[in-house]
Amino acid sequence: MRTWHEIRGFPLAIRLLLVNQLGVNTGFYLLIPYLATHLGDNLGMSAAVVGIVLGVRNLSQQGLFLIGGSAADRLGARGVIIAGCAIRTVGFALFALGDGLPVLLAASVLSGVAGALFNPAVRTYLAQEAGERRAEAFALFNVFATTGALVGPLLGSALLLVDFRASALTAAGIFALLTVAQALVLPARDVPPATGSVTSDWREAVGNRAFLAFALAMVGMFTLENQLYLLLPAGARQATGWDGAAGLVFLVGTVAGIAFQLRITRALKRRGTRGRWIAAGLVLMGLAFVPPMLVAGTDTPPHGALDATLRTLPVLLGALLLHLGVMTAQPFVMELIPAFGRQALTGTYFGIFYAVSGIAAAAGNAAVGWAMDVAGRGGGAAALLPWACCLAAGLASAAGVTWLHRNGTLPRTRPAPVAVAA
């Protein structure tokens, strides 16, 4: 109840952005996780072609985050958010309407470009509107995002009983509704005139050594957060022999987020510094991969429901610890990013940060995937390798943030000025 009371305490624009993020993640996760299966099984495409289609989508998004951030600064976050949702509507509709490779590649490019536009723009708008309550706003943002990541696959699984096109059209419909809602409700804001070129903005942000050091120190957070979709679900399936066990990983996070996210953020905000809690969250994220080591490498099927439950518990404990680590660190990370530079470059800083994080997540997933392959071939002690790699990544990132905190590199948070209605 306290969470919903807190939501009502924010202005309408922030409440709409929270619902927007729920819809964005619901629409994304009801479609994208099943796209590879559709391309390979339904359309008969080779693994190489499937990889190209998925890679084009990811490259289009990760490679253009900086463009989306600069557009939010210069054109206004509201318009960029609306444009991004509209473009993703078209992209997801093309997945439903086209079977040929050119159409599918166009759909991948459009859906990726859309994410590159609205991801930094939404966070820019949220940071500007929330003012002194920025940390709480991003905490609630995390709750809605996590809920969407749970609802999306469940809805997608149900729609696949009809066919893939039903999933794609539903996802496109969700983004169409979000586009209309934002165009009608999201307030327009005056955009201060730019004082220099886009490239000069980029040079200013990239030349901010403190910011770049922080972005690089945070690569562990995004690498580990992505294991909610790779290593932990695989561990749950391997431990229990049940494919549905992967869904429990998301369920744990959603319930924990709704119950604890805002309480954690509000309690920590009153005690200690941002850098301290970000480092603590990273340590917790790293330690989350210790309990699943207890059942790593289990090859024999469980003997009955009790054995399956006992094998599942360490993995679910790890998922809970990982979510708690994210809940501890992420709102303060989002709060700090705009504080590194000028208010007029908030979108640019978010764009660069997410470009770095996207590259880190891709490289981290590749490394963890390699470790999983080694573990699958080697067995025994080799089964611990992917979990140990994640533990090391979390502790290394925590050490980096601690060093930046102790030498005074991290900025003091300051409230963003509230923009004036146009």
- What is the identity of the amino acid at 213? A
Assess whether pLDDT exceeds 60 at residue 418: no
- pLDDT of residue 379 exceeding 50, the answer is yes
Given a cut of 90, whether residue 174 has pLDDT beyond it is yes
Q: Name the more confident of 243 and 125.
A: 125
Kindly report, residue by residue over 197-252, the tens digit of the pLDDT: 899 999 999 999 999 999 999 999 989 998 888 889 888 888 777 777 778 888 89
pLDDT, one tens digit per residue, over 72-84 is 999 999 999 999 9
CB 235 within 8 A of CB 313: no
Q: Are 27 and 152 in contact (CB under 8 A)?
A: yes
Segment 384-393 mean pLDDT: 94
Q: Quickly list DSSP for 27-66.
A: HHHTTGGGHHHIIIIIS---HHHHHHHHHHHHHHHHTTHH
Structure tokens that stand for 422 in this block: 């146009």
Q: Which has more pLDDT, 377 or 341? A: 341
**Range 271-287 average pLDDT:** 94
Distances from the Cα of 158 to the Cα of 153, 161, 162, 242, 389, angstroms: 9, 6, 8, 18, 35
pTM: predicted TM-score of the whole model, two decimal places: 0.89
Those residues whose C-beta lies under 8 Å from the C-beta of residue 225, and which sit 6 or more positions away, are 285, 322, 326, 361
Does the pLDDT value for residue 254 go beyond 90?
no
Please tell me the distance from the alpha carbon of residue 24 to that of residue 104, in angstroms, as a whole number: 20
Q: Is 315 exposed, middle or buried (0-12, 13-18, 19+ CB in 10 A)?
A: buried
Rounded Cα distance between 377 and 382, Å, is 8
Alpha-carbon distance values, 203 to 6, 62, 212 (Å):
38, 19, 12
* Banded model confidence at residue 416, pLDDT cuts 50, 70, 90: very low
- Where is average pLDDT lowest: 42-51, 81-90, 214-223? 42-51
Q: Provide the pLDDT for residue 270.
A: 86
How do residues 351-376 score in pLDDT, each as one tens digit?
999 888 888 877 887 888 888 888 87
- Residue 421 per-residue DSSP state: B
How many helices (H) and strands (E) in the chain?
18, 0
- Please name the residue that has the structure tokens 């094998």: 311
Which of 182, 154, 159 minimizes the C-alpha distance to 88? 182
The region of weakest confidence among 97-101, 282-286, 301-305 is 301-305
Q: What pLDDT shows up at residue 365? A: 79
